[in-house]
Structure 1
């Protein structure tokens, strides 16, 4: 059974004349999935509907067998976790370990289980040494990783990242990229809404393009980035390495430098 099924979804904010989301039909498999699109395309509204923070005007959203119309956001928290874009909107405890344990405890984990899961999540993100520090004594990039750890520790079937690479340097992005792979290997559904096209190319297997409240592209990330004309209509740019290789005259779509180097070696280009 698919853990996320969206059928004929429509949503309009009160007072607006136009729909924010128009007839969305999607199912999510075990591929890590990025949802991309310009500001106002409907991405954030969509994930808020998945999380139960908003209720649709019509259509159905099924999360792990639960219809979101009949389920509260608090009940859905056992199945789906959302990392906010701005960590300062999420953090409110004075100790890192207390912050990360808060979510797990509130969905029913015992204190021992919550602490164990929280320590594991912090270690996965290289934060094992800061558990007793105040989050606001740490950098913005570290606070972002703390909020990621707090959702990972909840051990939900579905994890959604809102702009996970904000404030991250190369090392931070590599930690998140590794985490996404580990979560997928554990059978988790990992989604993101994001503007970082390079990170999408490197970390996500499937990409969905939203434009003006509708899905205009959906497929393997390489296939999506091969549709340059449709992406232009959605005001989206290709990843930098993809752009460079096209400027150099290659018709192949490359998602990373490693992809290009491998192609170059295999084809014995001099």
Structure 2
């Protein structure tokens, strides 16, 4: 189930132009990160994937459905969306009920519902909080609740807006493992992030947005090698890239594995 965005423009009711001729395709099963400065159009673009926003001009297609001809409720069967602010979607008084909410709205009941909820709670280390009010948890834990709720919906496409914000290193490593698991399940995962170090380590494809347009769309190492283009979008390469350059390593480095390889080579 591919995501196809064809010459999409979007202008808010206030007159603000947010997208200007965006064209891209995300193939089923891909893991893609969208990065860029604040206001570059990342979240606006992502909200077109599940019909929360509709193009002013252009077409967005999810599989064989266009978002113009399907409701948000219909698109929710194909695209699970986690907001940047989890408080925008949490509406229940118990974590278990919140995680079940989206699946229930899709018609899931009984043993299948319990299985999905328990699986999602386990994946986000939330099992011991299942009977807690989400608003008794910290914002970072509420973010986990929102992610778990989308996992329980079992949609083929997941869009996660800033999933690692406010999380500790242990959870970030755990979340990276979850991304690998989702890939083995054939899920398409689109992540919006400001965390270029996390993106460099865990995403094979990166899209850079600026001014409502796609500035770069390529393999991760190619994107982070384009220092001038990144600078135009107020982004820096990952820390390991800058460290490797300072150490005058001969190869371009953007992830830990490559950096450690070069250190081993130098030590021989």
**TM-score category by the smaller chain?**
over 0.9
Distance 1:184 1:40 in 2: 29
Choose the corresponding residue for 1:28, options 6, 18, 26.
26
Name the TM-score, length of structure 1 as normaliser.
Answer: 0.94
User: How much does 1:108 deviate?
Assistant: 1.7
Is the CA contact 1:21–1:42 (under 8 Å) kept in the aligned structure 2?
A: yes
Q: Which residue of 1 aligns with 2:154?
A: 155
User: How much does 1:234 deviate?
Assistant: 0.8
* Secondary structure, aligned partner of 2:129: coil
Offset from partner CA, 1:108-128 (integer Å, 9 cap, x none) = 212332221011011112222
Distance 1:203 1:96 in 2: 28
Is the CA contact 1:225–1:253 (under 8 Å) kept in the aligned structure 2?
A: no
Tell me if 1:50 matches 2:49: yes
Q: Which residue of 1 aligns with 2:96?
A: 97
Please, which runs of 5 or more residues in structure 1 have no aligned partner? none
Is the CA contact 2:201–2:256 (under 8 Å) kept in the aligned structure 1?
A: no
User: How much does 1:140 deviate?
Assistant: 2.2
Q: Which residue of 1 aligns with 2:121?
A: 122
Offset from partner CA, 1:172-224 (integer Å, 9 cap, x none) = 11121111111111111000111111111112111001111111111111111
Distance 2:127 2:50 in 1: 29
Offset from partner CA, 1:10-66 (integer Å, 9 cap, x none) = 1111242x6321111111023310001111111111011111011111111111211
* Secondary structure, aligned partner of 2:6: strand
Coordinate RMSD, CA, aligned: 1.4
Please, which runs of 5 or more residues in structure 2 have no aligned partner? none
Distance 2:262 2:126 in 1: 37
Offset from partner CA, 1:43-91 (integer Å, 9 cap, x none) = 1110111110111111111112111000111110000011111122222
Is the CA contact 2:32–2:190 (under 8 Å) kept in the aligned structure 1?
A: yes
Name the TM-score, length of structure 2 as normaliser.
Answer: 0.95
Choose the corresponding residue for 2:17, options 4, 16, 19.
19
Distance change >3 Å, CA 15–CA 147, structure 1 → 2: closer
* Secondary structure, aligned partner of 2:59: strand
